[in-house]
Structure 1
Amino acid sequence: MSPRSLLLILATCLTLGAQTPATTQLVQSIPVETDLADPALAFAKDAWVAMIRGAKVSVDAAEFYVTNRPGSALEPVLAELEKAGARGVKVRFLLSAKMLDQDAVSVARLRRIPGAEVRSFDLSAVSRGILHAKYFVVDGREAALGSQNFDWRALEQIHELGVRTTDPRIVVRLAELFTIDWAFAGSGKLPELPGRPALTLRPGVELVASPPFLTPKDIRPAIDALVELIGQAKESIRVQLLTYSPVAGQERYWPVLDNALRAAAVRGVKVRLLVSDWVLGGRALPHLKALTLIPNLEVKVVSIPEAKEGHIPYARTVHSKYLVVDRMHLVLGTSNWEESYFADSRNVELVFRDSPLAAEATRIHDRLWNSRYAFPLDPAKAYEKRKVD
């Protein structure tokens, strides 16, 4: 897609957006048998079905992997994709090459959708990274993006947060990234990404992405946006993640985000970091414990009890990935806070400044922070590693 084509598409979308106000809403996923659902928010499983059901021309999806279970919340989503293909909607699906074996039956099911095409996204020749983004675009007019993988567990057994949006500032950019990644998956060759003058957009919303070597020059690296926003915090910072680690590679220290959080706490900003109990027993645990010794910086670990049906591998956890600054600004996306997600892998984050979405995300964070599932990380305590698989 040429720069001129993108400008024309963007101009068209902005014109339509002026006629029909864009909407963006948070969508949640909550582990069943918990009381963590926010009554004011829609569920991702319902939003996804509605979006695909309304598709008339195309569904373009970039997903880490696909995993289904008969009768699960993902089944209606897959069924709607099949119906969309049957009525002539063009379905294109990008999946991470390293995760194709997670559910070969569901991958084959996607390939059987009439007119559908599935491509494997493999970065192994150019980096250690993966396709870790999780989003899809419908008809070039609406998009879903967030922490939810295309996984039945992500819709009913994991705490997740995403967005559903018709905002052209987001949809056009996601469509552009998909075009780049779709071409890369087809050729295996990194595209040329010539510099372009930054597009003049309405303020307030920005799409940022990783890795830099696969991202247009006028889309900022996600890590830069995160550090900038943390640096601008005046009163409070709330973060929720699956994992957080300033350790990279072979025990190499990667202090970028760690330093930013520490500096904020030192200047008096109240920092609250929520992480999943997957960090217990991991190599980042000593660093997380060290954070708890800094005034104004609190760390809590979230542990979701097993489901009544018994242990479900890679489930019953918190997987949301977002940052709220001063209850006014929100960054929501697909990256855990570790170096490889920003330097090597395809991830996408959305920055919302002065947005009511930030207040909603604050409410979600506070609900979990004060819940019976969260406990303060004790720097003096030895923790057992949680069974994940």
Structure 2
Amino acid sequence: MSRLALPLAASLLALAGCPHEPATQTPAPAPTPAQPVAAAPPIEIVETPPAETTLDHPDVPNAADVWLAMIQGAKRSIDIEHFYISNAPDGKSGKLEPVLVAIEEAARRGVRVRLLVDMKFYLRYPESVDRLGSHGVVVRKMDLRPRDGVQHAKYMVIDDSDAYVGSQNMDFRSLEHIQEIGARVRVPEVVAAFARVFEQDWRSSGEESHAEPPKATPLKIPARVTLGGEEARILPTASPKDLLPAGVPWELPELLARIDGAERTLDVQVLTYRTKMRNGAPWTDLDDALRRAAKRGVRVRLLVSDWSKREASLDGLRELSRVPGISIKFIVIPQSSSGFIPFARVAHAKYMVVDGKSAWIGTSNWEGDYFTVSRNVGLFIDGKAVAERLGRIFEDGFGGAYAEVLDPNRKYEPPRIE
């Protein structure tokens, strides 16, 4: 053996181990059992807490994060129907900008993105809509001005399998400076209903507006799912009655049925509450239902924003507050330390909890026009898991530091809005 080969042979023997003295080997660790991946919940409450307040709930995801995850996860399609889009004044800061960038990136990677906004408010806030349109997003505007209505819904459908419905407008303020409540839903039957609303509105706002709509298959709603170990029912709804696609129920009768079915407690939070239409005509459908509930012994609590400190709303609220068994409070969000922000620092959430076992989450304020002339959508959830979580959120507002009892004999100064 050559001199060069001797060291190499010695090295190989050292690595392989001598046959009379086996090399000591560390036993390989036992394989770690694969951990099961938790299934995504069929429905998930989502919130926006105003910055610099104590209204944040650590166990409730924020809308800005949820929207971003949904859009970034889209593989085939994104359908967005929103009242309007309004980015921060500088066009760069704030929590909406990453959402807009994610929409643009989705279109760039081949996802079909369609955006439907209200015509009236597009004329007020055109910049972000036009920006998305220049990045591959197909844009249409829904014009309900001839009927004195607006496209007021706020929802999106991702890949026909994932949907978001809530009070949040696609507005930088709604993601940072306004209290909002919404829900993410991964229930095929429910998602299909909202997709059907979108398709009808999309067609009515484009060149297909006079074409015969495609034949619709029956929707399997309400959907039945398991929440918190119990069966729950989820019912998607829409408004107004005369613009409903086949199979999607009108929201107002469902609201009235839940109120009339209340046995013990009824908790409602909305931005505004009125007993007259915008044209001045009386509209007391919901007011009458709340009075019926109180009369049969149900404890009724109503939480409205301080934007309701205006005579148009105060008239009905004052009278309702005088009914035995009904308590009404304003929720007043302090102004930002950075100064006044127009159309912000307000509680804009819209939801209801009945007997701690059923709930409604919607996009409608409790005024007649939202149910009879304007496009809105909502969710009814019959099941304790969601109702109890919303109930705790309501308690934090109604019994918290920002609540103020409505005095029916007091003259209120309307807050500055713009």
TM, length-normalised to structure 2: 0.85
Partner in structure 2 of residue 58 of structure 1: 77
In 2, Cα distance between equivalents of 1:143 and 1:353: 18
How far off its partner does 1:187 sit?
3.5
Unaligned runs of 5+ in 1: 1-19
Is residue 334 from structure 1 mapped to residue 363 from structure 2 by the alignment? yes
2:103 aligned counterpart, secondary structure = helix
Q: Is the 8 A contact 2:189 2:220 kept in 1?
A: no
Deviation of the 1:200 alpha carbon: 6.1
Aligned equivalents of 2:366 and 2:209: distance in 1? Answer: 28
1:22–1:167 CA contact under 8 A, matched in 2: no
Evaluate the alpha carbon distance shift between residue 78 and residue 218 of structure 1 in structure 2; reply closer, same or farther with a 3 A threshold.
Answer: same
- Select between 352-361 and 309-318 the one with higher mean Cα deviation: 352-361
Q: 1:64-143 maps to which residues of 2 (within 5 A)? A: 64-69=83-88, 70-114=92-136, 116-125=137-146, 127-143=147-163
Corresponding residue number in structure 2 for 1:42: 61
Q: CA deviation at 1:208?
A: 1.1
Assess, with a 3 A threshold, how the Cα gap between structure 1 residues 141 and 265 changes in structure 2: closer, same or farther.
same
For 1:234, what is the secondary structure of its paired residue? coil
Distance across 2 between alignment mates of 1:160 and 1:335: 13
**CA–CA distance in 2 between the matches of 1:48 and 1:163?**
11
Q: Which amino acid aligns with 1:144?
A: Y
CA shift for structure 1 position 217: 4.3
Is 1:230 the counterpart of 2:259 in the alignment?
Answer: yes
Counterpart of 2:21 in structure 1 is none
Matches within 5 A, 1:350-389: 350-389=379-418
Q: CA RMSD in A?
A: 1.7
Name the CA distance, whole Å, in 2 between partners of 1:159 and 1:60. Answer: 24
Q: Which residue of the partner structure matches residue 8 of structure 1?
A: none
One-letter identity of the residue aligned with 1:117? V
Distance 1:188 1:124 in 2: 19
Q: CA–CA distance in 2 between the matches of 1:302 and 1:186? A: 41
Aligned residue number for residue 16 of structure 1? none
Counterpart of 1:32 (choices 23, 41, 51) is 51
Q: Identity percentage over the alignment?
A: 39
Counterparts of 1:191 and 1:41, CA distance in 2: 43
> Cα deviation per residue 1:32-53 (whole Å; 9 max; x = unaligned)?
0000011210000000001111
Cα shift at 1:216: 2.4
Shift of 1:123: 1.6
Deviations 1:285-334 (A, max 9, x none): 02101111111100000111110111100000000111110011011010
Matched with 1:174 is 194
Deviates more, 1:190-199 or 1:155-164: 190-199
* Aligned: 1:319 with 2:339: no
Distance 1:100 1:357, change over 3 A: same
What is the CA distance between 1:188 and its match in structure 2? 7.8
C-alpha change, 1:343 and 1:104, in structure 2 (3 Å) is same
CA distance in 1, matches of 2:221, 2:366: 30
Mapped partners of 1:191, 1:274: distance in 2: 44
> Which residue in the other structure is 2:268 paired with?
239
Q: Could you report, residue by residue, the CA deviation over 1:9-34 in whole angstroms, capped at 9, with x for unpaired residues?
A: xxxxxxxxxxx775210110011000
Asked whether the 8 Å contact 2:190–2:221 carries over to 1, the reply is no
Cα offset, 1:251, TM superposition: 2.4
SS where residue 42 of structure 1 aligns?
Answer: coil
The aligned residue for residue 14 of structure 1 is none
- 1:273 aligns with 302
Q: Does the residue aligned with 1:259 lie in a helix, a strand or coil? A: helix
Once the two structures are superposed, residues 236-266 of structure 1 have per-residue CA deviations (whole angstroms, 9 ceiling, x without a partner) of 0010000000111432211100000011011
Distance 1:192 1:128 in 2: 25
SS at 1:94's partner residue?
strand
The one-letter amino acid paired with 1:63 is: H
Residues 29 and 279 from structure 1, CA distance in 2 versus in 1: closer, same or farther, beyond 3 angstroms? same
CA shift in 2, pair 1:158/1:41, >3 Å: same
Relative distance call for 1:336 and 1:311 in structure 2 (3 A) is: same
- TM-score, normalised with respect to structure 1: 0.91
Alignment of 1:143-182 (within 5 A): 143-182=163-202
- Whether the aligned pair in 1 keeps the contact of 2:274 and 2:313 (CA below 8 Å) is yes
Q: Which residue number corresponds to residue 227 of structure 2?
A: none
Say if 1:191 and 1:259 are closer, same or farther in 2 by CA, change over 3 A: farther
What number of residue pairs does the alignment pair up?
Answer: 368
Residue type of the alignment partner of 2:78? V
Does the aligned pair in 2 maintain the 1:169–1:206 contact within 8 Å? no
1:197, distance to aligned residue in structure 2 (A):
6.0
Compute the displacement of 1:199 (Å). 3.8
Secondary structure in structure 2 of the residue aligned to 1:118: strand
